[in-house]
Chain A
Amino acid sequence: DTGVSQNPRHKITKRGQNVTFRCDPISEHNRLYWYRQTLGQGPEFLTYFQNEAQLEKSRLLSDRFSAERPKGSFSTLEIQRTEQGDSAMYLCATKTGTGGLETQYFGPGTRLLVL
């Protein structure tokens, strides 16, 4: 247990529905990242926050995806009008500091299946 929690752990939805995932970071961690991992692949960067500011988005983050981190604490990732291609594990990672030296601690992930 890294101290990063994600809910729900599993989500099954029908195509076209909206889904929302939550990540609760380690309390003192100011940076929060979202990654997506599809079957047989490594995690791919989606977006990141420094405190409450969303500072970078990957080209993988289509306009159906939105992420928030109100008050710089927990974060949510919402997918609107889900598609079968959105089926994946969504991982949250958090770290302290503003450089690259600190370790990113990953949560257990939310596995999404779109039928």
Chain B
Amino acid sequence: AQSVTQPDIHITVSEGASLELRCNYSYGATPYLFWYVQSPGQGLQLLLKYFSGDTLVQGIKGFEAEFKRSQSSFNLRKPSVHWSDAAEYFCAVGAQGAGSYQLTFGKGTKLSVIP
């Protein structure tokens, strides 16, 4: 069964600083990988996804993520954080050929932004 680990429960950065959120996954084959963002009391919005090809993927709102198979990682990055980026971020893995293609999520990383 697949699993996702987000080692950082809470990260605080200053506005304008760079950001990296860590995600490690466990899956026996090449996974489908996703990053979602959730604002308080809201549903999840997709930031970006990786299926195959170029290991550096670009998403919305200036986010990017890099798939590293050797490290089983899919870290999310942003060069300059804005106050509106404060939210909770979830990494998720979807299994290939699993029928339902259900997503398995990490526990999330809460991002706080200092003005």
A interface list, Cβ under 8 A from B:
2, 4, 6, 31, 33, 35, 40-45, 48, 55-56, 91, 93, 95, 99-101, 103-109, 111
What residues on B are CB-neighbors of A56 within 8 Å? 99-100, 102
Q: Quick check: B42 and A101 within 8 Å, CB to CB? A: no
Q: CB distance A99 to B101 under 8 Å?
A: yes
| Pairwise interchain contact A103-B46, C-beta atoms closer than 8 A | yes
With a CB–CB cut-off of 8 A, which chain B residues contact A103? 34, 46, 49
Whether the pair B99, A44 counts as a contact (CB closer than 8 A) is: no
Closest 5 CB pairs of A and B: A42-B105, A100-B101, A106-B43, A45-B102, A106-B44
Contact check, B107 vs A40: say whether CB atoms are below 8 A apart.
Answer: yes
Report chain B residues within 8 Å CB of A44: 105
Segment with Cβ contacts to A, from B13-21, B75-83, B87-95: B87-95
Classify chain B's interface size.
20 to 34
List residues of B whose CB falls within 8 A of some A CB.
4, 32, 34, 36, 41-46, 49, 51, 90, 92, 94-108
A40–B36 alpha-carbon span in the complex (Å) = 15
Flag if A109 contacts B42 (CB, 8 Å).
yes
**B41 to chain A: which residues have CB within 8 Å?**
108, 111
B106 and chain A: residue at smallest CB distance = A42
Q: Which residues of B contact A43 (CB under 8 A)?
A: 44, 90, 103, 105
Q: Is the CB of A107 within 8 A of B43?
A: yes
| B90 pairs with A100, CB closer than 8 A | no
Given known A48-B100, A56-B100, contact A100–B105 (CB-CB < 8 A): no
> Do residues B45 and A106 form an inter-chain contact, with CB atoms below 8 A?
yes
**A106 to B106 CA separation, bound complex (whole angstroms):** 16
